[in-house]
Structure 1
Amino acid sequence: MNSSQSEIRAHAVSKVPQITLGFWIIKIAATTLGETGGDWVTMSLKLGYLIGTGIFAVIFIALVAGQIRAERFNATLYWATIVATTTLGTTLADFFDRSVGVGYPGGVMIVFVLLLASLGIWYKSEGTVSVQSVTTPRAEWFYWVTILFSQTLGTALGDWVAGSDEGGLGLGYENGALIFGAGLLIVGALYYWSRLSRTAIFWAAFILTRPLGATLGDLLDKPVSQGGLEISRLYASVILVSFMALCVIFLPQRPAGRTMR
């Protein structure tokens, strides 16, 4: 990166929020909503994974374009775009796992490679994959594509651990939620008591919140015979949207600073 690019970035306005406890609360709710909302469109409405993926892809591209055109941080727009990545990530993972027929392990490997490629290209192009560097249109596209792949990977991981079909480990949704919750606690401990890169820790936590949300979403809407609570996907999604809206209104939402290393 040359000096003129660095100067432009230093004076640019970040349109992503600070990473706070409130951020992670809303993020987990958004990932849970992605599971219930995505399944409502593809399963409850019987549109299928391919059509569902197409619908959410259009919404995702439109919201990212709106996010890039925005002149400043907008919490509602940001979290709407996050939800778009979670719903699209849900349908993409299900499409790979079930429609393409690669199973959960194959789906995890495909999306993991895509995520690594996205991070690698982003780093080669921008010299960093830090959230604090997301202040230019190009960096924003890298950011949102990487988030999409991280959400898709998280969905695939959650299904692989909890599910008993398609090569799943069959540990159940409650155990899956406990496993990924414990993983998040470990990542949190590394943040406070290690010198590991804060950027690496952020992306690890970001990925782990997705399977946690996926297993929580499945716990809400799957049949009792499969270990779920059998709540309507539509009702569960409405409750989660309402909860997110209250969090966005009452929890502090400020643009990210430039301290992450």
Structure 2
Amino acid sequence: MTYEISEPPESSATGTRAVPSGRRPLRNKVPEVTAYFWIIKVLCTTVGETAADLLNEKAGLGLTGVSVLMSALLAAVLVAQFRTGAYRPGVYWPAVALISVVGTLLSDNLTDNLGVPLETSTAAFAIILAIVFVVWYRRERTLSIHRIDTTGRESYYWLAVLVTFALGTAAGDLVSERMDLGYWLAALLFGLAIAAVALAHFTLGLDAVWSFWIAYVLTRPLGASIGDYLSQPIGDGGLGLGTVVTSALFLAVISGLVVYLSVTRKDVTRARSDARHTA
């Protein structure tokens, strides 16, 4: 999905871009939003669904134990991500994969351990995400993913990503349960919803920033539906590959794409001379 984004200028009296006080200036820390971005994002989302199920069912840790383990791993990878001076596929995408697992577990813990209705958790995560965006914009004056170039903006970015995974999990489960579509029909529904967002952006002028984040949320239930379809037993409407095979398959594809992007740098943000960006 490609977007044109108009950004407010950020400059000082000397003509150079102003960096908020106390924040370390960086090169952009996130990738270009290309076809590779969406493919890996959906694959990471699928792994988030199947890996959470695998660890919960096979490792015997339970939701609480798995949540603690994956949160600790995510914290370690995010430390590495924040310490990099620019986007590094080998650090960025493992962070996305782990945050997809943790976001899934946040929603599952509320539903399975605390008994919170999906309607409530979906609404709560939507409100939290809105608050993150409001605070992010009020502090930084931009929500552009092309300007994740201070530690403050990167903090807001990863917080937003975490909440989108939790929101996508809760909303996807809510829709799937209420409509009882089955795995592949649910995947088709969410795929069509993403296509509608893209159409609204390109033909009706839907704001690029909101188009991106709406699509980002919707890829979570899309990837989960694909993962469930591949991993669940044939008798339950899946293909019966199991969580181990599905997780290993998708992790192998993600790893191959990350290596490819690390070598070719096809998704590194290009320098731009004006305030218009593609995403």
- Tell me the distance in 1 between the aligned counterparts of 2:111 and 2:34: 33
Aligned ranges for residues 53-92 of structure 1 at < 5 Å? 53-92=67-106
| 2:121 matches 1:107 | yes
Deviation of the 1:229 alpha carbon: 2.1
Verify: 1:219 aligned to 2:229, yes or no.
yes
**Cα shift at 1:2:** 8.1
What pairs with 1:100-249 in structure 2 (closer than 5 Å)?
100-163=114-177, 168-249=178-259
Unaligned runs of 5+ in 1: none
- CA-atom RMSD in angstroms: 2.1
Cα displacement (A) at 1:22:
1.2
Larger RCO (CA within 8 A; separation ≥ 6): 2
Q: How far off its partner does 1:110 sit?
A: 1.9
The aligned amino acid for 1:240 is F
Superposed, 1:5-20 pairs within 5 Å as: 6-8=17-19, 12-20=26-34
Equivalent of 1:26, from 35, 40, 52? 40
Distance 1:229 1:201 in 2: 32
Q: TM-score when scaled to structure 2?
A: 0.85
* Matches of 1:146 and 1:65, distance apart in 2: 17
In 2, the alpha carbon distance for the partners of 1:108 and 1:204 equals 14
Shift of the 137–233 alpha-carbon distance from structure 1 to 2, 3 Å rule, reads same
CA distance in 2, matches of 1:134, 1:184: 24
Q: Which runs of 4+ in 1 moved over 4 A?
A: none
Q: Which has the higher helix share?
A: 1
Aligned-residue offset at 1:256? 6.2
- The normalised TM-score by structure 1 is 0.90
Range with bigger deviation, 109-118 or 220-229: 220-229
5+ residue gaps, structure 2, are 1-9
Alignment identity in percent?
30
List per-residue Cα deviations over 1:138-172 (Å, max 9, x = no partner). 11111001000001111112212223xxxx43222
Instruction: Decide whether aligned partners of structure 1 residues 243 and 92 sit closer, same or farther in structure 2, where only a CA change above 3 A counts.
Output: same
Is the CA contact 1:39–1:233 (under 8 Å) kept in the aligned structure 2? Answer: yes
The answer to whether the 8 Å contact 1:220/1:229 transfers is yes
Q: Is the 8 A contact 1:161 1:172 kept in 2?
A: no
- State whether residues 150 and 206 of structure 1, in contact with CA within 8 Å, keep that contact through their aligned partners in structure 2: yes
Find the partner of 1:42 among 56, 59, 63. 56
Matched letter for residue 65 of structure 1: V
**Displacement, 1:257?**
5.6
Q: What SS class does the counterpart of residue 18 from structure 2 fall into?
A: helix
Change (3 A) 1:22 1:54: same
- Cα 1:198–1:192 change in 2 (3 A) is same
Corresponding letter in the other structure for 1:81: A
Deviations along 1:183-240, one digit per CA (max 9) or x if unpaired, are 1111121232232211111101111111100111111222333222222212211100
Q: Equivalent residue of 2:155, what SS?
A: helix
The Cα of 1:20 is off from its aligned counterpart by: 0.7
